[in-house]
Structure formats: C-alpha cells, structure tokens
C-alpha cells in the first residue's frame, strides 16, 4: 500500500480543497474527505503518466523540426523604396 501525505482546507461553502504534498501546484476539491482523497488519487495517477506524456511530446516536437526547412528571403532595393 502506498501512503501519500496531503494538505487541505475547508472553504466557506463546505468544500475541501487540497493537494498532494509531493505535487503542491496541483490542487483539487471534494465535498468530503472521501471524495477529496479520490480526486487526489487521480492527480497521483496523472502525475505518474506525466514523464511518458512529456517524452511523447518531445518526440512529436523533434518530428516537426525534422520536417521544417529554413531559407533566406532576399528583397530587392526596388521593393524597399
């Protein structure tokens, strides 16, 4: 069993808002502790996939760059005056 520490606060409307301490930039919310923990588990699952997703995006960018071409545009003096 994996145990992850999280932090949360209760909003004035009663909702709980929190984040996994390992991922403090990724907040979620729930109506109660059980729902909040379910949402936090989803964040954990997504973050575990993140390196694979980033690697795939880097590969896509490399393929795009491989298809890109550069050139030099020369504009004659007659068009510049």
Domains of the chain by residue range: 6-69
Q: How wide is the angle at C-alpha 42 spanned by C-alphas 28 and 10, nearest 5°? A: 25
* Average per-residue pLDDT for the chain: 88
> In what side-by-side order are the strands of the sheet with 16-20?
6-10, 16-20, 27-30
The pTM of this model reads 0.64
Q: What percent of the chain has pLDDT over 70?
A: 99
Q: Is the model's pLDDT at 24 over the cut of 90?
A: yes
What pLDDT is stored for residue 6 in this prediction?
A: 95
In this prediction, residue 69 has a pLDDT band, given cuts at 50, 70 and 90, of confident
How far is the C-alpha of 7 from the C-alpha of 50, rounded, in Å?
22
């Amino acid at each position: 069993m994996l145990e992850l520490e999280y932090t949360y606060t209760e909003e004035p409307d009663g909702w709980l808002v929190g984040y996994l301490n390992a991922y403090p930039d990724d907040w979620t919310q729930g109506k109660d502790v059980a729902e909040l923990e379910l949402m936090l588990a989803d964040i954990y699952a997504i973050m575990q996939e993140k390196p694979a997703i980033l690697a795939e995006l880097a590969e896509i960018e490399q393929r795009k760059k491989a298809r890109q071409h550069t050139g030099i545009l020369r504009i004659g003096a007659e068009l510049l005056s």
